[in-house]
Amino acid sequence: MNIIEIKNLTTTYNGHTAIKDISFNVKKGEYICLIGANGSGKSTLIKTIVGLNKKDSGEIVKNITPDKISYLAQNNLTDIDFPAIGKEIIMTGVQKRKSLPFYKKEDYQNFNEVCKLLDIDSIINKQISDLSGGQRQRIMLARALIRKPELLILDEPCSGLDVNITKEFYEILNKLNKEQGLTIIMATHDLDEVKSSDVRVICLATTIKFDGDINNWKEGE
Amino acid sequence: MEFFISLLQYPFMQRALICGIAISFCAALIGVILVLKRYSMIGHGLGEVGFAALSLALVLNLPQMYISIPIVIVASFIILVISQKKGESGDITIALVSTSALAFGVIITALSKGFNIDVYNYMFGSILTMSTGDVVISVCLSVLLVIAFVFFYNRLFMITYDENYAKVCGISVTFYQFLIALFTALVVVIGMRMMGTLLISSLIVFPAIIARRLTHSFKEMAVMSVAISILCFLFGLVISSLVNLPTGACIVVVYLVVLLISRVFGLLN
Specify the CATH number for the domain of residue A15: 3.40.50.300
Closest chain B C-alpha to A44 CA, distance in angstroms = 14
A201 and A170 both lie in a single domain: yes
Per-residue confidence (pLDDT) for residue A82, from 0 to 100: 86
CA atoms within 13 A on the CB side of A8: 2
pLDDT of B257 strictly over 90:
yes
Asked if the structure places residue A72 within a domain, the reply is: no
- Selected for mutation to probe chain A from B161, B173, B224 (highest A CB count within 10 Å) is B161
B33 touches chain A (CB under 8 A): no
A163 and A137 both lie in a single domain: no
Contact between B155 and A51 using a beta-carbon 8 Å cutoff? no
| Distance in angstroms (rounded) separating the CA atoms of residues A99 and B171 | 9
| Distance in angstroms (rounded) separating the CA atoms of residues B138 and B15 | 10
Per-residue confidence (pLDDT) for residue A195, from 0 to 100: 65
Domain that holds residue A91: 80-148
Q: Can you tell me the mean pLDDT for A122-149?
A: 90
Closest chain A C-alpha to B269 CA, distance in angstroms = 15
Closest chain A C-alpha to B154 CA, distance in angstroms = 6
Asked if the structure places residue A198 within a domain, the reply is: yes
Mean pLDDT of chain B: 86
A111 touches chain B (CB under 8 A): no
pLDDT of B122 strictly over 80:
no
For A97, the closest of B153, B164, B171 (CB atoms) is B171
| Distance in angstroms (rounded) separating the CA atoms of residues A163 and A47 | 26
Q: Which of A129, A148, A167 is the last residue of a domain?
A: A148
pLDDT of B7 strictly over 80:
no
Q: Which of A22, A70, A50 is nearest to A202 (CA)?
A: A22
A200 and A143 both lie in a single domain: no
For A95, the closest of B171, B212, B221 (CB atoms) is B171
A54 and A163 both lie in a single domain: yes
A86 and A46 both lie in a single domain: no
A59 and A154 both lie in a single domain: yes
For A101, the closest of B86, B151, B216 (CB atoms) is B151
Asked if the structure places residue A74 within a domain, the reply is: no
Closest chain B C-alpha to A84 CA, distance in angstroms = 4
pLDDT digits (tens, 9 = 90+) for B143-153: 998 899 999 99
With DSSP H G I counted as helix, E B as strand and the rest as coil, what are the percentages for chain A, rounded to 5?
35, 30, 35
| Distance in angstroms (rounded) separating the CA atoms of residues A33 and B190 | 54
Residue B96 — very low, low, confident or very high, per pLDDT cuts 50/70/90? confident
A117 and A221 both lie in a single domain: no
pLDDT of B107 strictly over 80:
yes
Contact between B218 and A96 using a beta-carbon 8 Å cutoff? no
A194 and A100 both lie in a single domain: no
Closest chain A C-alpha to B140 CA, distance in angstroms = 23
Asked if the structure places residue A11 within a domain, the reply is: yes
Q: Which of A148, A177, A203 is the last residue of a domain?
A: A148
Asked if the structure places residue A29 within a domain, the reply is: yes
Asked if the structure places residue A73 within a domain, the reply is: no
Residue B84: its chain A contacts at CB < 8 A? none
Nearest chain B residue to A86, by CA: B217
A203 and A157 both lie in a single domain: yes
Residue A57: helix, strand or coil by DSSP? strand
A54 and A91 both lie in a single domain: no
pLDDT of B119 strictly over 70:
no
Q: Can you tell me the mean pLDDT for A179-187?
A: 92
CB contact at 8 A, A165 and A158: yes
Report the range out of A87-91, A93-97, A212-216, B211-215 with the highest average pLDDT: A87-91
Residue A102: its chain B contacts at CB < 8 A? 154
Contact between A83 and B169 using a beta-carbon 8 Å cutoff? no
Percent of chain B topping pLDDT 70: 93
| Distance in angstroms (rounded) separating the CA atoms of residues A156 and A187 | 5
The full set of domains in chain B, from first to last, is 2-268 (1.10.3470.10)
Per-residue confidence (pLDDT) for residue B205, from 0 to 100: 93
Asked if the structure places residue A71 within a domain, the reply is: no
Q: Which of A148, A178, A198 is the last residue of a domain?
A: A148
pLDDT digits (tens, 9 = 90+) for B39-73: 888 888 888 888 888 888 888 888 777 888 899 99
Per-residue confidence (pLDDT) for residue A163, from 0 to 100: 81
For A50, the closest of B157, B168, B216 (CB atoms) is B168
B250 touches chain A (CB under 8 A): no
Per-residue confidence (pLDDT) for residue B114, from 0 to 100: 57
Per-residue confidence (pLDDT) for residue A152, from 0 to 100: 94
Per the structure, how many domains does chain A have?
2
User: How many angstroms separate the Cα of B230 from the Cα of each of A155, A161, B146, B189?
Assistant: 44, 43, 15, 19
Asked if the structure places residue A75 within a domain, the reply is: no
Residue A97 — very low, low, confident or very high, per pLDDT cuts 50/70/90? confident
pLDDT of A180 strictly over 60:
yes
Percent of chain B topping pLDDT 90: 27
Residue A75 — very low, low, confident or very high, per pLDDT cuts 50/70/90? low
Per-residue confidence (pLDDT) for residue A185, from 0 to 100: 94
Residue B171: its chain A contacts at CB < 8 A? 95, 97
Mean pLDDT of chain A: 87
For B218, the closest of A71, A83, A101 (CB atoms) is A83
Nearest chain B residue to A87, by CA: B217
Q: Can you tell me the mean pLDDT for B121-144?
A: 82
Per-residue confidence (pLDDT) for residue B83, from 0 to 100: 75
Terminal-residue alpha carbon distance, chain B: 33
Residue B168: its chain A contacts at CB < 8 A? 50-52, 69-71
pTM of the prediction?
Answer: 0.86
A154 and A217 both lie in a single domain: yes
- H or E stretch including A10? strand A2-13
Higher pLDDT, A77 or B245: B245
B168 touches chain A (CB under 8 A): yes
Per-residue confidence (pLDDT) for residue A169, from 0 to 100: 86
pLDDT digits (tens, 9 = 90+) for B157-207: 999 998 889 998 888 888 998 899 898 988 988 888 788 877 888 999 999
Q: Can you tell me the mean pLDDT for B248-268?
A: 89
Contact between A83 and B217 using a beta-carbon 8 Å cutoff? yes
Percent of chain A topping pLDDT 90: 42
Angle value at C-alpha A87, between A157 and A141, nearest 5 degrees: 20
A95 and A115 both lie in a single domain: yes
Per-residue confidence (pLDDT) for residue B1, from 0 to 100: 67
